[in-house]
């Protein structure tokens, strides 16, 4: 990549020299090659103010590389997002103006690198439990990639992102079960995944677990202060959650009968629904699976 960039820089210098030795584009390129990014930035911003130059690809591509390197030098700076946006906009503009295809390959490679950093920021935001930033960056990633690849298929990454987002909402709900807004968001997010892929194991299992835990939590809140009618009401509500959990856990089990967590999940759900026979059925399957795992494999 560095070799390709250096070749492109030589081409810019050659083209710029033909235009005029006093052209700010020549000076910007010189400072860029010497590592003076701020100086190059000032000059290249001046260069694109020239209407004739602004109609050519060279200043835009050079500006894109300068701003890209400024972003790389300080990816956590307050203005990092602006630097990256300017870099992508300039590279895209330069590639579009490059009818001779002298610089477009390098420009689009640099653009693709920056798009990847936007996606990475979405992932980091998820890890930091910041759903707002994650959604913002992921939406931006899709928009940026679609500019150069209008036919890009995001289906698989959409599912991965939404599953991760659902996990984030679930963690927030588990941290404070009184905040049912996070529960509602988690349910909606997993259901959105299942609308796109009804056989997604993670969404089926996580949604079943979410429903089941909600029912268990309700029962755990019963205290000696509750009267009989309120206890019955809580038990009925919990049963409704267990009933909601069952088909999703069954779906996950059918997709992979060798997953121990689904067997335990089905055991717990049936037990909570007072179906002892089915609960024992899945307990026995779980025990049999554990025994099989402990057996030495045949050579």
Q: Residues 57-75, buried b or exposed e (16+ Cβ, 10 A)?
A: bbbbbbbbbbbbbbbbeee
**Are the C-beta atoms of residues 217 and 177 closer than 8 Å to each other?**
yes
Tokens of 20: 């005029």
* Residue pLDDT, tens place only, 3-34: 334 444 444 443 444 344 357 888 999 999 99
pTM of the entire predicted model? 0.85
pLDDT at residue number 294:
59
Whether the Cβ atoms of residue 25 and residue 53 lie closer than 8 Å to each other: yes
* Cα 209 to Cα 121: distance, rounded to the nearest angstrom: 29
Lowest mean pLDDT among 9-13, 189-193, 293-297: 9-13
Angstrom distance (rounded) from CA 61 to CA 69 = 12
- Whether the pLDDT of residue 44 is over 80: the answer is yes
> What local confidence, expressed as pLDDT, does residue 295 receive?
62
Per-domain residue ranges of the chain = 1-152
* Average of per-residue pLDDT across 157-163: 97
């Amino acid at each position: 990549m560095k070799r390709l960039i250096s070749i492109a820089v030589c081409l810019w210098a050659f083209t710029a020299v033909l235009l005029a030795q006093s052209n700010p584009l020549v000076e910007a390129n010189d400072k860029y090659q010497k590592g003076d990014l701020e100086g190059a930035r000032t000059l290249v911003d001046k260069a694109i103010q020239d209407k004739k130059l602004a109609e050519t690809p060279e200043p835009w591509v050079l500006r894109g590389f300068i701003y890209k390197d400024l972003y790389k030098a300080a990816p956590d700076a307050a203005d990092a997002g602006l630097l990256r946006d300017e870099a992508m906009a300039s590279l895209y503009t330069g590639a579009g103006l490059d009818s001779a295809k002298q610089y477009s390959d390098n420009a689009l490679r640099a653009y693709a690198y920056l798009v990847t950093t936007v996606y990475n920021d979405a992932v980091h935001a998820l890890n930091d439990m910041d759903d707002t930033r994650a959604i913002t960056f992921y939406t931006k990633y899709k928009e940026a990639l679609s500019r150069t690849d209008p036919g890009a298929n995001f289906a698989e990454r959409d599912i991965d992102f939404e599953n991760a987002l659902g996990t984030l909402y679930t963690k927030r709900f588990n941290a404070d079960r009184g905040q049912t807004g996070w529960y509602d968001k988690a349910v909606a997010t997993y259901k959105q995944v299942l609308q796109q892929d009804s056989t997604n194991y993670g969404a089926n299992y996580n949604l079943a677990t979410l429903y089941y835990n909600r029912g268990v939590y309700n029962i755990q809140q019963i205290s000696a202060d509750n009267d009989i009618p309120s206890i019955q009401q809580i038990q009925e509500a919990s049963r409704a959650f267990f009933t909601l959990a069952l088909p999703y856990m069954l779906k996950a089990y059918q997709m992979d009968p060798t997953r121990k967590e689904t067997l335990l999940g089905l055991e717990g759900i049936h037990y909570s629904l007072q179906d002892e026979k089915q609960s024992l059925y899945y307990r026995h399957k779980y025990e049999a699976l554990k025994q099989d795992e402990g057996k030495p494999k045949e050579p």
